Amino acid sequence: MEYFSDLLTREMEQAFERAGYDGALGKVTVSNRPDLCEYQCNGAMAGAKQYHKAPFMIAEDVAAQLKDSAVFSSAEAVKPGFLNLKVSEGLIQKYVGEMAEDPRFGSPLPEHPKTVILDYGGPNIAKPLHVGHLRSAVIGESIKRIVKWHGDRAIGDIHLGDWGLQMGLVITELKKRQPDLVYFDPDYTGEYPEEAPFTVSELEEIYPFASGRSKEDPEYYKEALENTHLLQEGNRGYRALWNKIVAVSTADMKRNYERLNVSFDLWYGEASVHDRIPGMVKDLKEKGYAYESDGALIVDVAEETDAKEVPPCMILKSDGASLYTTTDLATILQREEDFAPDEIIYITDKRQELHFIQVFRCARKCGLIRPETELRHIGFGTVNGKDGHALKTREGGVMRLETLLDDIDAAMLEKIRSNEEIGEEEADRTAKQVGLAAVKYGDLSNQASKDYIFDMDRFTSFEGDTGPYLLYTIVRIRSILQKYAAAGQGKDASQCRICAPGDEAEKALMLDLCGFSQMMDDAYRDLAPNRICAFIYRVANDFNSFYHGTKILTEPDEAKKEGYIALLSLCERMLSACIDVLGFSAPARM
């Protein structure tokens, strides 16, 4: 279907032409004075110079052409030269009616779907997930779903931090604590045991311990570097132990991501491209892109137009070790080979922006990627506490993701328990579902690049711009639809037909829905889930105003009642589709 606003613009362009003006002046936009009109056109203002005429006169000429318009029920010229517009009820009925018939609400699928890789999550093996990982998971999952909704092939890759010094540190500490483990016996040639020699909580204690010690003890640090090197060189015992560390750690991660309703198509990590690095390095050297500087291997990526200095991209350290940059470059090679993607999108903390500028430039310069492949980095801000500083535990430590989710679930459970109709088990389940919406909506309703304040009281409120408010609205609509079905006197909701809006509140709601496909395309173009949040919040508000002013189930006029039911059913399906794209769902009741 054509965008609703394009349909209005087309009508306006023709009116400008019929009045003897340039049709291109007829752009129609949503009114910024909703108290006066629904849409507006400022073309007469823009045309004044061109036609040496007062804008008001132009606006009047155009308005005269719209007297019998089937699109605008009123087009009024107002000083100094605006056109204030109201949309015809018949057009709205037709447009919303068509949306209601289409499972995609009038959004066409692309003729040439793209292949898009989404790199998000990015947790590090052996380190517990902390609140910083929340945003990558929540935003990344939603962007993946936006891309999928649009009709592209979306592939999510978690890109584990599973290589490098952090693994060497864990191995070093394990060796100190359990030197007799068979993994450390260089003469051992048999099979390694099935069972890991540690639990996930032990692992999570070991890493920070080892990391702290390495900062104080240079000998220990040196040992960790050596062990990292041995691991990367392929030491058999170390590799076997590494496999165990990865297995134990990812099992725990999977549990956490499942709880967040986040899933990945690929569980690749930095380690999975290790074997590509020597070939890549050789190639970069041979082609003359990479050269040695102070013992390190680097590629220049600065550009003349850089306002801030962009340092060279470091490929190998002077000791020959690879870096974060190196694995990211090799991963680009791997993705090109496996999927030839049209686009790769990275979702990380915005403090990694420079890293991605370097990686993207280096990949292009050295031809690691086809010129037509787009590379995009979505950098997000920090999750802050109410004090405006990064969210911490009460003791001042890093906030674990699990703790945060537990806290929100507990707060939600308290509220849901006040509904006495809901039993213990359902309350538990519902609290988790609504809690997740609270957390995700609290994050996604902000522009990703901005920091936001994690405000437990606000996020879990059933009122205002919150996840629970939206779920509550959906639950309310469902309950009316259920009551209608249970009464069993009318048609099935799917047989009910949309009517023309009967009052201002109904019209406002229907006009909101008309903006759906354009909003989804905007969200896709900008990779901005916050646009979907703003849309559903407006729909929910306008629905609730409509609901409070309208007797729906007791409406005596059967055709009118069926019109309401058709509209409610469309609202319910559209809101449900939107929250699914945001990555959460609504309970049966709350």
Residues that bind ligand ARG (CB under 6 A): 119, 122, 124, 159, 161, 328, 346, 348
Q: How far apart are the first and last CA of the chain?
A: 36
Residue 351: CB minimum distance to ligand ARG, A = 9
β-bridge mates for residue 155, sequence order: 117
Residue 352: CB minimum distance to ligand ARG, A = 7
Q: Compare residues 122 and 237 and give the one whose CB is closer to ligand ARG.
A: 122
Residue 346: CB minimum distance to ligand ARG, A = 6
Residue 480 to residue 553: CA distance in whole angstroms: 8
Distances (CA, A) of 28 to 3, 65, 67: 12, 15, 17
Residue 328: CB minimum distance to ligand ARG, A = 5
Strands 82-87 and 72-78: antiparallel
Residue 283: how many other CB atoms lie within 10 Å: 15
Distances (CA, A) of 205 to 140, 166, 189, 556: 28, 13, 30, 67
Tokens 């370097």 correspond to: 358
| Helix, strand, coil shares, percent, the chain, to 5 | 55, 10, 35
Q: Compare residues 120 and 537 and give the one whose CB is closer to ligand ARG.
A: 120
Residue 363: CB minimum distance to ligand ARG, A = 12
Residue 349: CB minimum distance to ligand ARG, A = 7
Long-range contacts of 194-199 (CB under 8 A, 24+ apart): 196/244, 196/245, 196/247, 196/248, 197/244, 198/174, 198/244, 198/248, 199/248
Amino acid at 504: E
| Cα dihedral: 251, 256, 261, 262 (round 10) | -70
Residue 558: CB minimum distance to ligand ARG, A = 58
Residue 369: CB minimum distance to ligand ARG, A = 14
Question: By three-state DSSP, how is residue 557 classified?
Answer: coil
Q: Compare residues 161 and 435 and give the one whose CB is closer to ligand ARG.
A: 161
Q: 569 CB contacts (<8 Å, ≥6 apart)?
A: 100, 481, 493, 494, 496
Amino acid at 522: D
Residue 555: CB minimum distance to ligand ARG, A = 54
Q: Compare residues 77 and 117 and give the one whose CB is closer to ligand ARG.
A: 117
Best CA proximity match to 393, nearest among 466, 454, 458: 454
Residue 330: CB minimum distance to ligand ARG, A = 11
Best CA proximity match to 105, nearest among 580, 550, 563, 578: 578
Residue nearest to ligand ARG (CB): 122
| Structure tokens belonging to residue 432 | 């988790």
| Structure tokens belonging to residue 537 | 């919040």
Q: Which spans in 161-199 are helix H?
A: 165-177
Best CA proximity match to 447, nearest among 505, 550, 378, 544: 378
Residue 532: CB minimum distance to ligand ARG, A = 24
